[in-house]
A and B are shown apart, each in its own frame.
Chain A
Amino acid sequence: MGAEAVVIRATRVLPRLAFALLASWLALVWTSASHAQQNEAQGSPVEIHGFVSQGFILSTKNEYLAKSKRGSFEFSEAALNVTKTLTDELRVGFQIFAHDLGPIGNYRPQFDWYYLDYRPADWLGLRAGRLKVPFGLYNELNDIDVARVPVLLPQSIYPIDHREFLFAQAGAELYGNLELGGAGELEYRAYGGTLTSDLGLPPPPGLTPREVSVPYLYGGRLLWATPLDGLSAAASGQAVRFDAYYDFDPALRALLEQVALLPVGLSYPLPVQFRVTRWVASLEYSAHELDLAAEYSRWTGEFYSDAPLLFPGHTVNERYYVMASWRIAGWLSPGAYLSRYFVDVSQREGRAQYQDDLAATLRFDLNRHWLMKLEAHALRGTAALDNRELNALNRGVEQAELTRRWALFLLKMTAYF
């Protein structure tokens, strides 16, 4: 076996080994979890929690998230978190997370979040570190199977394959709860920072991005708990800017210049700026065993470059869903949603321009540490197959050529403490 083969084999095996070690570590600390809770009551508040999830994906017609047409187990997650209350105002914590989702993740452990949290009053708190992004009702829960009914949240607003961009930011957050007297309560969260993890931006063929950076990311969420018990309304917004410098393959550059997509005489690497602003309006009713949610969102992407024909200037996409879940018994929670996504609000025709997703889930809480979910999706459109890595799963077939009507089935089991 040559050295290159050994290296390739090691790069495949080591992440799985790390994942196995993390899972083993979870098992080892499992028994100490209840002890940790007992300690808190006795004044030493150290909390250790974790989960391990294993899913199975099966799809018809189109590959989705993994090589799913033949069925795939490349749908794993594990996390371990530790939090400690230092004083009544001060807390610290971190969560290590590893996952595998088809071509994404590959069991590479990373800090999902870590923070120092100072909360001198209920109306004012400050967190600093790597923090989950509050966008809409459920963005923070997107990779936490135990915290929701569906296996996949509505992918129009919570695309699971965009976790590096959407789930967490490194920076700070101001937050608090305000009593509004008879008008309910208002929770505010405002944050700013950047993205620090490997963005993994898959470049278009022939382009090599250099110095990809995120100069800023900021946003916030207002969540109003109305006087009607269980009814909440929220508004979230976020702005982020990506800067990149692109080198072009000489042959591709000549071709693009020839068809006038690339102006002649530009200096390289070509600076390109991509700004995204997005907002979502949310409504949730959560009382007793019933949860209803509806959200509507628009995301705007704008490129700034000296090659405006190659990097189109302005796109607005539309995303919304309605969702319901009901805890029938402690062990059984069914749920369903209808989710819609349009890539460009000015161009809604064509299968690549939209994706409708009707999903139904059964969540079985087998005991306090173990759950199982079954989920079926009927899909129409191929817009969510736009991620370059996911598109590669379909062997680079254009989205407009992929099958319009398809289905997806998921089975997932999670152990947690």
Chain B
Amino acid sequence: MRSRVHGDRWTATGGVLATVLLLVSLAAGGSGVGRALAGEPGGFRLVVNAQSATEPLERAFVADAFLKKVTRWPDGEAIRAVDLRFDAPTRQEFSEQVLQRSPAAVRNYWQQRIFTGRGVPPPELASDEAVLAYVREHRGALGYVSARAETSSVKVLELR
């Protein structure tokens, strides 16, 4: 009888703990909204190879290209998207505005793809200069850099 009472207590604890975790989640979630939208935007520029014939791009196309749902430019050239490093402020801004997800959410998307064998993320480069060098060297490249970067060697695209 004693062990049964003890077991009942544990079972009830499971229900209570599940409910508490749920409530904590909801309560904490409310305070998370402001944090998610916080941050001073510095701006970014979308860049492609100087020889690219690409015209202004739709946001959805760019998002699909970075998530590798779309892999080719309209002329058939392979898209070679390239990211800034995970903690770069410009990446945060690009991710929120273009991919409409935080870098952490995008990382989760790629973890799903990586471990199911369905793809790998774009390479991450350490700086604007590294992205610009990559874009200069690859005809199908698609990248973004901070608004203050010197972009005369590449083509800057408008994002619609």
Contacts and interface: CB of A to CB of B under 8 A. Distances in A.
Q: Do A and B come from one complex?
A: yes
Interface of A: 37-38, 40-41, 45, 47, 49, 51, 60-61, 79, 81, 83, 88, 93, 95, 113-115, 119, 121-122, 131-132, 140-141, 144, 146-148, 177, 185, 187, 229-230, 287-289, 326-330, 332, 334-336, 358-362, 365, 368, 374-379, 403, 405-409, 416
A41 B123 contact: yes
Contacts of B12: 407
B72 A122 contact: yes
A288 B7 contact: no
B116 A40 contact: no
B100 A358 contact: no
B9 to A, nearest CB: 9
Interface stretch (B40-48, B49-57, B107-115, B146-154): B107-115
A326 B25 contact: yes
Contact of A289 (B15, B69, B71, B105): B105
B72 A407 contact: no
Interface string B59-87: 00000100001111000001000100010
Contact of A360 (B10, B21, B70): B21
Contact of A362 (B25, B72, B103): B25
Nearest to B140: A88
Given A38-B123, A229-B100, A288-B100, A362 B21 contact: yes
A378 B104 contact: no
Contact of B15 (A37, A115, A358): A358
Interface of A is mostly: strand
A336 B14 contact: no
21 contacts: A40-B123, A88-B71, A113-B117, A132-B116, A132-B118, A144-B111, A144-B115, A287-B100, A288-B101, A288-B102, A326-B32, A330-B102, A332-B28, A335-B25, A336-B21, A362-B21, A378-B11, A403-B11, A407-B15, A409-B14, A409-B17
B21 A81 contact: no
B123 A358 contact: no
B17 A360 contact: yes
B120 interface: yes
B38 to A, nearest CB: 11
A113 B115 CA distance: 9
Contact of B101 (A49, A287, A358, A405): A287
Contacts of B104: 327, 330, 365
A289 B123 contact: no
B35 interface: yes
B29 interface: yes
B32 A328 contact: yes
A365 B105 CA distance: 12
Given A41-B125, A141-B115, 4 more contacts: A115-B117, A146-B111, A368-B107, A405-B11
Contact of B117 (A81, A147, A377): A81
Given A147-B112, A336-B22, A288 B72 contact: no
Interface of B: 7-8, 10-15, 17-22, 24-25, 28-29, 31-32, 35-36, 64, 69-72, 78, 82, 86, 96, 100-105, 107-108, 111-112, 114-118, 120, 123-125, 130, 134
Given A37-B124, A144-B115, A329-B35, A334 B24 contact: yes
Contacts of B35: 328-329
Given A334-B25, A360-B25, A406 B117 contact: no
A407 B115 CA distance: 30
B28 A328 contact: yes
A187 B113 CA distance: 15
B28 to A, nearest CB: 5
A134 to B, nearest CB: 9
Nearest to B131: A41
Contacts of A61: 7, 10-11
A361 B24 CA distance: 10
B25 A147 contact: no
A88 to B, nearest CB: 4
B123 A147 contact: no
B86 to A, nearest CB: 7
Given A334-B24, A360-B18, A328 B111 contact: no
A361 B21 contact: yes
A131 B117 CA distance: 8
Contact of A113 (B111, B116, B134): B116
Given A289-B32, A334-B24, A336-B18, A407 B112 contact: no
A406 B11 contact: yes
Contacts of B20: 360
Contacts of B32: 289, 326-329
B10 A407 contact: yes
A187 to B, nearest CB: 8
Contacts of A132: 116-118
A377 B36 CA distance: 29
A408 B14 contact: yes
B101 A47 contact: no
Nearest to B15: A378
